[in-house]
Every structure is written in C-alpha cells, then in structure tokens.
Amino acid sequence: MRSANGAPLLIGAFGAIMLAVVLFLVRAPLVVALLVGVIGVALLAVLVVARPRPTITRTLPPVAPAPPAPVMPAAEATAPPVAPVAPPSVAPTIAEAAAPAAPSVMTYLPAPAPIFVGREQEFEELEAALRRAHGPMATAVIGPPGGGKHSVISQAIEAHRQAGTFADGYSWHVATDLHGDRGLRRLLIEVLDRLGGPAVAMTATLRMGEAAVADLVRGKRMVFWLDDVPADFPMGRALSTLTARDAAGVGPTLIISSGTDWAMPEINEIFLDAPQLDEALNFLREWMELSGRSLDFTDYDAAKAICVNLSDLSLAIRLAAGYAAQSGVKLPKLAADLGSAVYPPGDLLRTGEKTIAFVEATLFPKPRRVFAALAVFEEPLIDLADASAVAAAVAGNTVAEARTDLE
C-alpha cells in the first residue's frame, strides 16, 4: 500500500516526462527536453525507492515465565558451577562415530594347541621373532616328530592374533605331501584360492603363478604357516614368493615347521632338541608322578629302556608316562612293548610318526587312552569326573560307561 505522501511525487514525475515530450515535438532545444525528461525520471525513481514495504509478522505462542531461581546458601552460591553429567545411554561421541569398524581378519588356523611343558623358551623366542619388523621374514621351528613344533607355533600365532599384530590375516597350510615343484604349485593354488587371486595364473607356467601370488601378497601384514614341510620342497622359491615386499618393506611373514635344517640365511631357525637320556628319564619320572604313580627304584632299568626306545620322541615319552601311571602296567612289560614298536623284527627304519601312532593306538585303547593323553600337556587332568566326560565324548559312550572303563 502507498502512503499519501507519494501522490505529489508521482504527479510531478509524470508531468515532467510529458513536458519533455512536448518540448521535443515543438522543436525546442534538445538539451532542454532531455534535462526535463531526466528530472521526471529521477522523481519517479525516488518514489519507487521510498515506497514503504509491507512487514510480515509471526505470532508466537506465549512463553511461560521462568520459575524463580532457588535461593542457595552462601557456600553454594560462591562455588564454581558443575558441568552436567551425561546419562549412561547417550549417543556415541564424534570420535567414536568417526572411528572405522574393525576389519575382519582372514583366519585359516587350526585350534590352538596346549603348550608343551619345557618348551616355554622356544615359544617366547618365536613370539619375539614375530614382533620384529626387520631381519629375516621367515622362521623355521625344527625338531623331531612329537617334539612340540606344532604346539609352539600354534601358541605363538595365537598370542599375536589376540594382540592384532597381523591385520591382513593368517593362513595355515599342511605341507606334508607338498613335494618338489608339483607341491609348490599346489600350495600356490591354495593361496590364490584363499586370497581371491586369479586362479587362471596357475594354468600357465609355475613362474607365472609365482609372480601372481607375489603381486597378491606384496604389502600385506599377514602370516603364512607351512606345517610339516618335507625336505624336497623348493623352500627358496616359496620363500621369495610368499614374503614379497612393497617399496616400504612391508610383506608377509613365513613360519615353517619341519624336521629339516634348511641352512638358509633368510630363515631364522629355532631348534627343538631331542632330550638326552637323562632328560628323557626325568620327563618319564616327572609325568608318572604328576599322573599319580611314583617311579620305584626297581623300575629304573625298565624306565631307561623306555627312554632309549623313545629318546627322540618327547611326546611319546609323556604318553607312555601317562599310560604307565593310569593303567598300572608293569614297566618291564611296557619297555618290551615299546621296544617291539620302535624296533619291530625286519623293520629297523620305523618312523617316529609310526611309533607315536603305535603308542596311541596300542597302549591307549579308547576311552582309557583319552584319560592318559589328558596328562600330557601343561597340567595333568587327574579328576576322574572330568576325564570321564571327555572320554565319553570321544568314545561316544555315556559318562557312566566311560567312568566304568576308566576305573
């Protein structure tokens, strides 16, 4: 809406413009006509700019008056204000909301094995080797069958898995049957399959497969565990492929369990030495006592014979001790049985694996052998109720049946 004060300005502006037109038509000087026209336009502009604009108002609901502030004692009135405490169920903070979700780690590992008593030093050595960022990127745990290689490696890897050391995962490969180049090809195919690599690379030459795997693992913080590697496996080629590094020197770590001394500067070696006769005898005596039976002086000759037969098989010594304690067998008979197992007539080359298999299968029939085997690792399990439950689960019997067998 226009105000009343704007009407004279509008009339004056219109009159000035019309006067300029008339002067132009009667051939008055052009300068005079233009001057009169400019005055009219200026008056019109003043009118437009000065015109008042309508205002928009919003009606707000009435605000209730604030309650009067409570009167505080003088001591409280002078105290500094205390920040309010957030309720326990609040939204996440900005830092928490911005934090990325923990990525899933690829894990192909066997169940963690109990640590062997007497292998704590080797475990600590391997666990420390896996922490090193420089030096050899491969560690071989070398020892006889039943010496605790699998247990030491499993425990060390589990410690680092719990600590989150290797963000790109863990890959365990049973290498018992990986012989020669054919075995290497099988291993590389397995790695490509697990890591989502181009399996077509393995249809070409072995060198092309090695290059494909190296490109796939380069720069990854992960562990490859080759378990029970035979002596004819091409370790040098596998090592260069599975530990390929990027420009920053980042790449996988390789762990090897084997009975072979690889004698390669790129491989850090941890030896699990076979116990000497006196050490084996101490093992046998210790585990018999822990399993509930003392070693009599009259049985020492038989105990020595057992240790001679099993001198390089510490696992078998522990199993034999557990069996001797739980079954009550006469040690001379046990020594004779073990002698026949280790040195059977006509077969002087029986392997350690066969001996352990004999000790487990022949001396420990189910479910009794389960009870005896429970006395092998860390702390012997002597409680009959617990042992019965384990034996029942393995043998498929009821706990009552297993307890009767164990008794």
* Long-range contacts, 210-217 (Cβ 8 Å, 24+): 210/237, 210/240, 210/241, 212/188, 213/188, 213/241, 213/242, 213/244, 214/240, 214/241, 214/244, 215/244, 216/191, 216/192, 217/191, 217/241, 217/242, 217/243, 217/244, 217/251, 217/252
Q: Which of 248, 271, 294 is the last residue of a domain?
A: 271
Give the residue from 148, 402, 155, 369 showing the smallest Cα distance to 275: 148
Q: What's the CATH number where 164 sits? A: 3.40.50.300
Residue at a domain's end among 271, 305, 340: 271
Instruction: Return the closest-CA partner of residue 282 out of 297, 301, 303.
Output: 303
Residue 215 within a domain = yes
Q: Is there a single domain that holds both residue 258 and residue 324?
A: no
Same domain membership, residue 173 and residue 296:
no
Are both 252 and 310 inside the same structural domain? no
Q: What is the pLDDT along the chain (407 residues), one digit of tens a residue?
A: 444 455 555 555 566 666 666 566 655 566 666 665 666 656 555 555 555 544 444 444 444 444 444 444 443 444 444 343 333 333 333 333 333 333 467 899 987 776 666 678 899 999 999 988 776 789 999 987 667 788 899 999 999 999 999 999 999 999 999 999 999 999 999 999 999 887 676 667 889 889 999 999 999 999 999 999 999 999 999 999 999 999 999 999 999 999 899 999 999 999 987 667 777 787 778 777 766 778 888 888 888 887 776 655 565 676 677 667 767 778 888 777 766 655 555 554 555 566 556 555 655 444 444 444 444 444 444 444 444 444 454 445 555 554 555 45
**Among candidate residues 122, 158, 57, the one with its CA nearest the CA of residue 314:** 122
d(CA 337, CA 319) in angstroms, rounded, equals: 14
- Within this chain, do residues 318 and 181 fall inside the same structural domain, yes or no? no
**What confidence score (pLDDT) does residue 384 get?**
45
Residue 319 CB partners (closer than 8 Å, separation 6+): 356, 359, 360, 363, 364, 372, 373, 376
What is the domain extent for residue 17? 4-50
Res 375: pLDDT: 42
Considering the domain architecture, whether residues 208 and 164 belong to the same structural domain is answered as yes
| 334 lies in some domain | yes
Same domain, 348 and 365: yes
The CA distance from 224 to 202, in Å, is 19
Query: What is the pLDDT, as a whole number, of residue 245?
Result: 93
Residues 201 and 135 in one domain: yes
Query: Which residue in 115, 127, 132 sits closest to 162, CA to CA?
Result: 127
Residue 76 within any structural domain of the chain? no
Are both 209 and 244 inside the same structural domain? yes
Q: Are residues 152 and 283 in the same domain?
A: no
pLDDT given at position 369: 46
Q: Which residues pair with 169 in a beta bridge?
A: 222
388 domain-assigned: yes
Count of domains forming the chain: 3
Evaluate whether residue 169 is within a structural domain.
yes
Q: For residue 161, what pLDDT is reported?
A: 93
CB 6 within 8 A of CB 51: yes
Report the pLDDT value the prediction gives residue 394, as an integer from 0 to 100: 46
- Decide the pairing of beta strands 222-229 and 267-271: unpaired
In a domain, 294, yes or no: yes
Q: Are residues 173 and 32 in the same domain?
A: no
Q: 62 lies in a domain?
A: no
d(CA 145, CA 358): 14
Pure H helices in 51-173: 74-77, 94-98, 120-131, 149-163
Q: What pLDDT is stored for residue 112 in this prediction?
A: 74
Single-letter code of the amino acid located at 266: E
Q: Choose one of 245, 271, 297: the last residue of a domain.
A: 271
pLDDT at 244: 95
Are 170 and 262 members of one domain?
A: yes
Residues 256 and 114 grouped into a single domain: yes
In a domain, 69, yes or no: no
